[in-house]
A and B are shown apart, each in its own frame.
Chain A
Amino acid sequence: MKLIFHIWRQPARNAPGRMVRYEHSGLNPDMSMLEALDVLNEDLALKGDDPITFEHDCREGICGSCGFVINGIAHGPLAKTTVCQLSLRHFRDGEELYLEPWRAKAFPVLRDLMVDRSAFDRIISSGGYISVPAGSAPDGNNILVDKDDADRSMDAAACIGCGACVAACPNASASLFTGAKLSHLGLLPQGQPERNSRALRMVAQMNEENFGQCTNIGECEAVCPKGIRLEVISRMNHDFLKASLSSR
């Protein structure tokens, strides 16, 4: 099958970039979107052109490395699917595809479709953990966890840190990501002692990083490959307000 790509090419961090058109026939509907780019890159390399830089690793939808915007939708048209798992089957033969990197001040483009998401790491290191040094833990079954809480915590913990939520949010807000971590830890008994400070710190860090403010638009939920729900954002707001009002 044939596809016409319009891909954002940008040689380096602060260099100017532009959309470049590539036509490729001889693609196979069973290919993943990334395999299609592999094929395109092989050609470019042989021609002596610079291949398209895009992030990827596991190619199983779990590491969160991959991700770009396809025709205006983060991770492309298929719900709950990262670009590495998105097969060409879902496109028409001869379709035009616009591939753009995540767009956000907090995610500067490093090259082509690759962006810098280290802001996410800084949000986690600002408080997205439970402080328990190795060796200091009680027996696993000393901490009983309501199955329902455990399941909902797991739902939130499924976040792969891909950044699609930020990319899709009209406000470029990182609320779904931050809310997911606060929910994962906040729903577990182990997470209670640090719950307030965690909310205050992570929200503060999120603001430091120049993400926009959530206005409950819901695009993030729609594109999230792991189906993280808006519920996590309201839980973040709840914890943040409670912590702000109750803290001494």
Chain B
Amino acid sequence: MQLLYEPEQHAPAPAAGSLTLDARIPSGPIEKAWDKTRFEMKLVNPANKRKYEIIVVGSGLAGASSAATLAELGYNVKCFCFQDSPRRAHSIAAQGGINAAKNYQNDGDSVYRLFYDTVKGGDFRAREANVYRLAQISVNIIDQCVAQGVPFAREYGGTLANRSFGGAQVSRTFYARGQTGQQLLLGAYQALERQVDAGRVTMIPRTEMLDLVVIDGRARGIITRDLVTGAIDSHVADAVVLATGGYGNVYFLSTNAKGSNCTAIWRAYKRGAAFGNPCFTQIHPTCIPVSGHYQSKLTLMSESLRNDGRIWVPLEKGDKRPPNEIPESDRDYYLERRYPSFGNLVPRDVASRNAKAVCDEGRGVGEHGLGVYLDFADAIHRLGRKTIEERYGNLFEMYERITDENPYKIPMRIYPAMHYTMGGLWVDYHLMSTIPGLFVAGEANFSDHGANRLGASALMQGLSDGYFIIPYTIGHYLASNKFDKVESTHEEFRAAQAQVADRTRQLLETKGTRTVDSFHRELGKIMWDDCGMSRNAAGLETAISKIRDLREQYWREVKVPGAPAEINQSLEKAGRVADFFELAELMCLDALHREESCGGHFREEHQTPDGEALRDDENFAYVAAWQYGPEPRLIKEPLTFEYVHPSQRSYK
């Protein structure tokens, strides 16, 4: 029997080796780049817009805003999501806030500063032109959202309030309590529903994209499975937008929603779209530690906690005394010790790595020794319980609800967790992938965050892609190409549809002895151990072979109950996990090839004497774009820094 996981099983990518990368970055001064591009773009005659069909997969910040805006412009839009309602997209979970260079606080912020901070924060692995555009557009996003009725926090005078976030020196973060993502998404969702009412968007929820259809080298549609009836359908379009979010769930345990998956972008990759920097993942330092093997996901505790909490572990390994009985002399406030100037406020990647280090030394706390204390005793002593309650009341409640421990009395236990994926499908300045007509927005593209994302910048990127970039660039694409009519009966559609049906049947008929989750857990463990916070060649190599074995076993021994033509959540999971296996391998490959440490990617072989990330700008100042084939092929997009000059990040 031929195993499905073997690449050959899938439609071959466009003639391997044919691929070259043109990022279409406009020449001239960076401040003018976006204006220039917009001016040079071809426009679609308003009367003709309704003649075009556009598919948007995803209804998160990026998807909902694209779909709504494209419909406003007059295009016919079909929007898909796997949840029962577009409003439930994972963007809903974002807490902290969204950045914008408004400089409302008059503290010296500017488009240029936001641009600078983001390029530096990304450890010089992002594209300058994109980041600059992001910073420019950030300003319009806030205006748009306010007008939509997003209830941002306000000052008594009625103006918009800001807070500083993620270690930024300026207050540029806009927020709506601890539910910024929810409120921004509801704004986009409502704009989307307005277009549904106007009949310009057909919203198709509870439907999962399982393949991309490419005809004559252009993206012309998708294959979907109706999650209620199980029906497998073809949808034709003139352009396809993927806004399907991040792939953090490769690690099984992450702060992502359970449904978040890589299927859409992975299918696109296998159809020829290059995958950018797959190994660039972000691990968030302050999450609630795992409490048991049954654990299904990890909960994020806002970064803001680090403003007042002090992080420590016992000095001696295996010290099992309850925290309050451990005297100051036996405590190690390791961040304050190692980074006197930044202390507990070092960036996410640094904080995470150090937590792992102390736990690896056996000094971790909690039942499983995988946790460090985040202690508010001093803060409460200094500021009074009242103030702490005002600042973190709701977070403390959430913590107590989950752990049953009172953080006012016992120090919180926290541990890093998989949180965000900077990597994703490679896109040019127009957010178009290497497949003409396939656009990628939000966390799903390899984005503007380089090797590390700063807090409150993903919401910004998702909305700028959706409201302000894709609507223009798609117009240009449509105006500069002729489209001959394609029917869903076209053999490419038929073939793809058959493959999808095949694959589902395979999964159901394997009738093995292990559940999907048990495999996913095991895969997650491999990735976390060898391709997580810190990586090394040996580990990555073993990981790759372990993953291959496990994947082989998966197709032999997975047990997927139920039938194809009904609601079957196990089947949904099974398909997603099958893709995670393949992506996981590519992530390891990418991590292995990148012989340097940068941002979230820490190679133990490449560190400064005092254990900090050591970049190699000589050899690795490029985007690693992987092209699918019997063996993944690496294509490099060199990165040049004309405005922000690469420097060693130091937080000592």
Instruction: Report A's interface with B, CB cutoff 8 A.
Output: 11-12, 28, 30-32, 34-35, 38-39, 42, 44-46, 48-51, 53, 55-60, 62-65, 81, 85, 87, 89, 110-111, 114, 116-118, 120-121, 124-141, 143-147, 150-151, 153-154, 157-158, 160-161, 184-185, 188, 190-191
A42 touches B190 (CB 8 A): no
B93 touches A130 (CB 8 A): no
Q: Is B26 in contact with chain A by the CB < 8 A criterion?
A: no
Main secondary structure of the interface of A (DSSP, over half): loop
B190-246 at interface with A (beta carbon < 8 Å):
190-191, 193-194, 196-197, 203, 205, 228
Q: Which chain A residue lies CB-closest to B153? A: A150
Chain A binder among B179-187, B275-283, B320-328: B179-187
A161 touches B87 (CB 8 A): yes
Contact of B190 among A34, A110, A129 (CB under 8 A): A129
Cα A247 to Cα B44 in complex, Å, equals 40
Q: Which chain B residue lies CB-closest to A117? A: B84
Per CB-CB distance, the 4 closest pairs between chain A and chain B, nearest first, are A144-B158, A137-B147, A129-B190, A125-B193
B72 touches A133 (CB 8 A): yes
B144 touches A135 (CB 8 A): yes
Against A, the Cβ 8 Å flags (1 = close, 0 = not) of B279-310 are 00000000000011011110110000000000
Contact of B148 among A42, A57, A121, A130 (CB under 8 A): A130
A141 touches B104 (CB 8 A): yes
B182 touches A161 (CB 8 A): no
B189 touches A124 (CB 8 A): yes
B190 touches A28 (CB 8 A): no
13 contacts between A and B (CB under 8 A): A57-B258, A57-B259, A59-B297, A65-B83, A125-B193, A126-B197, A134-B72, A134-B471, A140-B102, A147-B154, A151-B154, A157-B176, A184-B151
Q: Is B640 in contact with chain A by the CB < 8 A criterion?
A: no
Against A, the Cβ 8 Å flags (1 = close, 0 = not) of B525-544 are 00000000000000000000
Could you say which residues of chain B place their CB within 8 Å of the CB of A140? 102, 104, 142-143, 146, 152, 160
Q: Is B90 in contact with chain A by the CB < 8 A criterion?
A: yes
Could you say which residues of chain B place their CB within 8 Å of the CB of A154? 151, 176-177, 183
Q: Is B379 in contact with chain A by the CB < 8 A criterion?
A: no
Cα A130 to Cα B145 in complex, Å, equals 10
Contact of A150 among B151, B191, B259 (CB under 8 A): B151
Contact of B561 among A45, A127, A184 (CB under 8 A): A45
**12 additional contacts (CB under 8 A) given A129-B194, A143-B146, A147-B156:** A35-B296, A42-B517, A60-B299, A121-B193, A134-B191, A140-B146, A144-B159, A150-B151, A154-B176, A154-B183, A157-B151, A158-B179
Could you say which residues of chain B place their CB within 8 Å of the CB of A144? 157-159
Against A, the Cβ 8 Å flags (1 = close, 0 = not) of B551-563 are 0000000010110
Contact of A58 among B92, B153, B517 (CB under 8 A): B92
A141 touches B93 (CB 8 A): no
Question: Which of A53, A58, A85, A191 has most chain B Cβ within 10 Å?
Answer: A58
Chain A binder among B383-391, B566-574, B613-621: B566-574
A50 touches B561 (CB 8 A): yes
B562 touches A190 (CB 8 A): no
B402 touches A87 (CB 8 A): yes
Instruction: Report B's interface with A, CB cutoff 8 A.
Output: 65, 68-69, 72, 83-88, 90, 92-93, 102, 104, 140, 142-144, 146-149, 151-160, 176-177, 179, 182-183, 186, 189-191, 193-194, 196-197, 203, 205, 228, 257-259, 291-292, 294-297, 299-300, 401-404, 467-468, 471, 513, 515, 517-518, 559, 561-562, 566-567, 569-570
Contact of B515 among A31, A42, A190 (CB under 8 A): A42
Given contacts A125-B194, A136-B147, contact A59 B292 (CB under 8 A): no
B193 touches A64 (CB 8 A): no
Question: Which of B90, B515, B569 has most chain A Cβ within 10 Å?
Answer: B569
Q: What is the minimal beta-carbon distance from A201 to any residue of chain B, in angstroms?
A: 9
A46 touches B559 (CB 8 A): yes
A125 touches B197 (CB 8 A): yes
Cα A139 to Cα B633 in complex, Å, equals 47
Q: Which chain B residue lies CB-closest to A126? A: B197
A85 touches B515 (CB 8 A): no
Q: What is the minimal beta-carbon distance from A49 to any residue of chain B, in angstroms?
A: 7
Given contacts A62-B93, A81-B401, A125-B197, contact A31 B292 (CB under 8 A): yes
Could you say which residues of chain A place their CB within 8 Å of the CB of B179? 62, 158
B561 touches A30 (CB 8 A): no
Q: What is the minimal beta-carbon distance from B396 to any residue of chain A, in angstroms?
A: 15
Cα A159 to Cα B111 in complex, Å, equals 34
Contact of A143 among B85, B147, B467, B562 (CB under 8 A): B147
Cα A85 to Cα B83 in complex, Å, equals 19
Could you say which residues of chain A place their CB within 8 Å of the CB of B86? 121
Could you say which residues of chain B place their CB within 8 Å of the CB of A35? 294-296
Cα A134 to Cα B72 in complex, Å, equals 8
Contact of A134 among B68, B228, B257, B294 (CB under 8 A): B68
B299 touches A44 (CB 8 A): no
Could you say which residues of chain A place their CB within 8 Å of the CB of B295? 35
B196 touches A118 (CB 8 A): no
Cα A12 to Cα B191 in complex, Å, equals 33
A64 touches B87 (CB 8 A): yes
B294 touches A28 (CB 8 A): yes
Cα A50 to Cα B146 in complex, Å, equals 47
Cα A110 to Cα B205 in complex, Å, equals 14
A129 touches B191 (CB 8 A): yes
Q: What is the minimal beta-carbon distance from B397 to any residue of chain A, in angstroms?
A: 9
B85 touches A190 (CB 8 A): no
B467 touches A134 (CB 8 A): yes
Q: What is the minimal beta-carbon distance from B287 to any residue of chain A, in angstroms?
A: 11
Could you say which residues of chain B place their CB within 8 Å of the CB of A131? 194
Q: Which chain A residue lies CB-closest to B159? A: A141
A57 touches B517 (CB 8 A): no
Could you say which residues of chain B place their CB within 8 Å of the CB of A124? 87, 189-190, 193
Could you say which residues of chain B place their CB within 8 Å of the CB of A11? 566
A45 touches B87 (CB 8 A): no
Contact of A65 among B88, B151, B160, B518 (CB under 8 A): B88
Q: What is the minimal beta-carbon distance from A54 to any residue of chain B, in angstroms?
A: 8
Could you say which residues of chain B place their CB within 8 Å of the CB of A45? 515, 559, 561, 570
A85 touches B85 (CB 8 A): no
Could you say which residues of chain B place their CB within 8 Å of the CB of A44? 561
A63 touches B144 (CB 8 A): no
Given contacts A48-B561, A57-B258, A120-B85, contact A130 B147 (CB under 8 A): yes
Q: Which chain A residue lies CB-closest to B150? A: A157
Q: What is the minimal beta-carbon distance from A188 to any residue of chain B, in angstroms?
A: 5
Given contacts A30-B291, A134-B467, contact A62 B92 (CB under 8 A): yes
Q: Which chain A residue lies CB-closest to B142? A: A140
B193 touches A129 (CB 8 A): yes
A121 touches B87 (CB 8 A): yes
Cα A31 to Cα B297 in complex, Å, equals 11
Cα A5 to Cα B190 in complex, Å, equals 38
Could you say which residues of chain A place their CB within 8 Å of the CB of B205? 118, 121
Could you say which residues of chain A place their CB within 8 Å of the CB of B570? 45, 51
A63 touches B92 (CB 8 A): yes
Could you say which residues of chain B place their CB within 8 Å of the CB of A153? 149, 151
Question: Which of B156, B177, B186, B562 has most chain A Cβ within 10 Å?
Answer: B186
